[in-house]
Amino acid sequence: MKIGIIGGGSVGQTLGAKLIANGHDVVLGIRTPSQAEFDKERSMADTISAWMKKTGGKVMSFAEAAKHGTLIINATSGGISLDALKQAGAENLKGKVLIDIANPLDFSRGMPPTVITKYTQGTSVGEELQSAFPETHVVKAFNTIAAAVMVDPSLIKGEHDLLISGNDTAAKKTVSDFARKEFGWTSIVDLGDIVGARGTEHYLPLWVRLWGATGTPFFNIKIVKS
Ligand SMILES: NC(=O)c1ccc[n+]([C@@H]2O[C@H](COP(=O)([O-])OP(=O)(O)OC[C@H]3O[C@@H](n4cnc5c(N)ncnc54)[C@H](OP(=O)(O)O)[C@@H]3O)[C@@H](O)[C@H]2O)c1
């Protein structure tokens, strides 16, 4: 499958590496695909040069990555995801499934981050993207899980849940099938329409606290019913 990943940080690199290893034709998109950017040190991620050497993967602009993919993954900082996807181009996203992993976190006052105020006022990145790109099928998924666990849920013992939301039933099936086949997810909880993104994005302050409390980012939610 041709996959375009918008964002070259920890999430983009981790998903890209796994999907290339699985045999997919992946283009990773960054803002400015230049040698200086490829060699730039990145927080919590390899340089792009090191990633390309390790994976054999291709790195291009946001627009080229989006044009390439029949499936698109948004792995940019939530506060700028709308801008990044506008750079990717509505025409390159049209008719495609977009997996939105972004969280709108503000690290400007250090740790712990807060949810950017705009996204606490009755909206979410997922909704904003769906509204800006009505001909794209946005599915919020994977944003409640550390990058390494997204591609290898077996890092956590026992069954645990992948939470998804989106307006298009067929797109959610595509993403669920993709998560099962590519990464081995077994339990997927559908939260309903894209408004469900508010819940998962607003979970992040608790996720950060749980990271501190458990001492590991390798944990997840399991919904237990009576
Ligand atoms: N890290 C995790 O384990 C994890 C887990 C769950 C969800 N998430 C979410 O996944 C997303 C990606 O996280 P991440 O840690 O991989 O990377 P990140 O540092 O949050 O985002 C990296 C990407 O955002 C782009 N970017 C930053 N500022 C920009 C701007 N002003 N305009 C356009 N693009 C800009 C960067 O472009 P350049 O490449 O050009 O610099 C880069 O590609 C975030 O929303 C995060 O909250 C992360």
Average pLDDT by stretches of 10, the chain with 226 residues:
98 98 98 97 96 98 98 98 98 98 96 95 97 98 98 97 98 98 98 98 97 97 95
Rounded CA-CA distance 123/115 in Å is 12
Q: If you measure from the C-alpha of residue 225 to the centroid of ligand 1, how many angstroms do you get, rounded to a whole number? A: 34
Q: If you measure from the C-alpha of residue 41 to the centroid of ligand 1, how many angstroms do you get, rounded to a whole number? A: 14
Choosing from 38, 77, 218 the residue with most ligand 1 atoms within 8 A of its CB, the one to mutate for a pocket test is 77
CA neighbours within 13 Å on the CB side: how many for 213?
7
Atom of ligand 1 nearest to the CA of 144: 6
Q: Does residue 59's CB lie within 6 angstroms of at least one atom of ligand 1?
A: no
Q: Give the residue from 113, 104, 54, 43 showing the smallest Cα distance to 77.
A: 104
Q: Does residue 30's CB lie within 6 angstroms of at least one atom of ligand 1?
A: yes
181 secondary structure, DSSP code? I
Residue 157 has a pLDDT of: 95
Q: If you measure from the C-alpha of residue 31 to the centroid of ligand 1, how many angstroms do you get, rounded to a whole number? A: 11
Q: Is the pTM of this model over 0.75?
A: yes
**Is 69 buried (19+), middle (13-18) or exposed (0-12) by CB count in 10 A?**
buried
Beta strands (DSSP E) in the chain are 2-6, 25-30, 58-61, 71-74, 97-100, 105-106, 114-115, 137-141, 161-166, 187-190
Q: If you measure from the C-alpha of residue 224 to the centroid of ligand 1, how many angstroms do you get, rounded to a whole number? A: 32
| Domains of the chain: residue spans and CATH | 2-214 (3.40.50.720)
Q: Does residue 84's CB lie within 6 angstroms of at least one atom of ligand 1?
A: yes
Residue 44 has a pLDDT of: 93
Q: Does residue 75's CB lie within 6 angstroms of at least one atom of ligand 1?
A: yes
Q: Does residue 162's CB lie within 6 angstroms of at least one atom of ligand 1?
A: no
Q: Which two tokens stand for residue 156?
A: 């956590």
Rounded CA-CA distance 151/195 in Å is 25
Residue 49 has a pLDDT of: 98
The alpha-carbon radius of gyration of the chain (Å, integer) is: 16
Q: Does residue 29's CB lie within 6 angstroms of at least one atom of ligand 1?
A: no
